[in-house]
Structure 1
Amino acid sequence: MRKIILSTESGADLPEDLASKYAVQVVPMHVIMDGKDYLDGVLPVEEIYDYYGRTKKIPSTAATNVHEYQELFTKIRADYPDSIIIHIGYTSKASSSFQNANIAAEELEDIFLIDALNVTGGLAAIVLYAATVLEKEPTIEPERLVEKIEAVVPKSRLAFTPGSLDFLRAGGRVSNMAYLGGALLKIKPCIELKDGKLVSTKKYRGKMMGVSEKLFQEYLTEYNIDREQLYFIYSIGLEDSIKQRMDELAKEAGFQHVRWIQAGAMISTHSGPGGFGIAGLEA
């Protein structure tokens, strides 16, 4: 039976231990500061926060390019001869990364590319779903696995709120007037993935503890999330007391397994420190 290999981008924020466990191949996206190109997944997130502290600017980000995908797919075939590759990619609505993967795969055989229409924990949830299906059914036909993954893509739900509006303002995503009003009223937007696009859907007022609880309650009201697995996403700076409270609420809601995922450099460039998010798959 030919081996199936899964791959994705660093923008999935897939924890290293899980990538290793399931042999998921992760290709880096890019963060650019002071004209220098850094690899997402390698660059410590704290350096982004330090850069903002010095300059009051956020870095720019860039997609994985065609050459990097060619190297990734070539390496997979070298490491796993006669393998079948299934690449589950960062949403095509927010990056050219998936388009570049398609270009790189044009002359390759036995490779499937799936647009996850999601990012960070929402993308990781899909990748890990594929990995667990493959673990349970190691002889599954690749076409059948692709069908299963494509069926779960629209069921992946991600909601995220930043710790503050500072990084959104620096990136031009909120006006100075909206920033001042939001800062005075302690307003935080809820960002969700809608049809693959990042959209501000709600606004919360108050401290991060209360905002996180409200976000979680409304998330569970809006989506019928499978209680087997839930993912919490955080950017460095989120208080431990909030994490503990979210764990308690998840247990009370009946979730069997909860995994915390740290937002990497790519995501943190836009969300800033102290952010909180939730991802899961609808039943």
Structure 2
Amino acid sequence: MSRHVAIVTDSTAYLPQRALERHRITAVPLTVVLGDRALEEGTEVSARSVAQALRKRTSVTTSRPGPEKFAAAYQAAAEAGAAGVVSLHLSAEISGTYDAAVLAARDARVPVRVVDSGMVAMALGFCALAAAETADSGGSLDEAVAAAEKRAADTSAYFYVDTLDYLRRGGRIGAAQALLGSALAVKPLLQLDSGRIALREKVRTASKAIARLEEIVVERAAGPRPVDIAVQHLAAEERAVELAERLRARVPGLAELYVSEVGAVIGAHTGPGLVGAVVSPR
């Protein structure tokens, strides 16, 4: 059965495969360049491979999808019967993915609304789910866009990394911020702020940083609305699972709790040891 509004996102949303299939969401892959090999995220390269390469100091970079990848996704949606497409992507402040989607949308057979979510990982994933659920219930193109934008406005993302060096190498934070963290031997807590990665707090040890991350999430999740939470990591499964279980016990309004490893693209910029949490009220 065709749907009036199709939903396209990119591979950095890190939605579970069952969610992509259930809501018929198309995820266009970004590329990871591992040494001299260009590989598509999600099918050709894993987060674990990236973590191993980073530990060995192998060159790891990432690149946006070409506009032709988005053009193919929009064409497929039109051929499947969609009268319009909502195309939701990671923050334009940290990737050129949004720009590539905008270029492709100009020549699409059906109207395409390209949305800069200002988010990444499951913070983007929750926005895509909001748009898809609206489309599933018969909502219009404008209504699906509005649902995604509202979800983005209400969603917060926080994360801990063992070192700021990987973010510095990829140009996602300034050298001065990275140097400050190294010089003071602190463990950084970061957040998404207006689509950019910003330093929220500096904590002395990894265990204290994770404990503080937990407190921030519990505070942010308080309120009358049901809330979805995602705990994501790179090569730090034990930390992530333990954090998720504590949050399950402490957040009374919890609706869905996702625990997963991030993909290769985000892993390339954060490095092993990442633990992040996304708080998304419904």
* TM-score, length-scaled by structure 2: 0.87
2: CA distance, partners of 1:171 / 1:141: 38
Amino acid at match of 1:97: T
Question: Which residue does 1:91 correspond to in 2?
Answer: 91
Deviation at 1:238, TM superposition (A): 1.3
2:157 alignment partner, SS class: strand
Question: Which residue does 1:257 correspond to in 2?
Answer: 256
1: CA distance, partners of 2:190 / 2:28: 25
Amino acid at match of 1:145: A
> How many aligned positions are there?
274
* 1:23-172 mapped onto 2 (5 Å cutoff): 23-42=24-43, 43-54=45-56, 56-78=57-79, 80-108=80-108, 109-135=110-136, 137=137, 139-165=138-164, 167-168=166-167, 170-171=169-170
Deviation at 1:241, TM superposition (A): 5.4
Q: Do structure 1's residue 14 and structure 2's residue 15 form an aligned pair?
A: yes
1:47 alignment partner, SS class: helix
Question: Which residue does 1:231 correspond to in 2?
Answer: 230
2: CA distance, partners of 1:102 / 1:169: 27
* TM-score, length-scaled by structure 1: 0.86
1:95 alignment partner, SS class: coil
Amino acid at match of 2:245: D
Deviation at 1:162, TM superposition (A): 1.3
Q: Aligned-residue CA RMSD in angstroms?
A: 2.4
Moved more, 239-248 or 264-273: 239-248
Deviation at 1:167, TM superposition (A): 3.0
- 8 Å Cα contact 2:228/2:281 also seen in 1: no
Question: Which residue does 1:244 correspond to in 2?
Answer: 242
2: CA distance, partners of 1:110 / 1:34: 39
Amino acid at match of 2:116: D
Give a deviation string over 1:130-182, Cα, whole Å, max 9, x none. Answer: 223334x2x22222222222222221211111134453465465568546435
Gaps of 5+ in 1: none
Q: Do structure 1's residue 181 and structure 2's residue 183 form an aligned pair?
A: yes
1: CA distance, partners of 2:148 / 2:243: 32
Distance 1:222 1:144, change over 3 A: closer
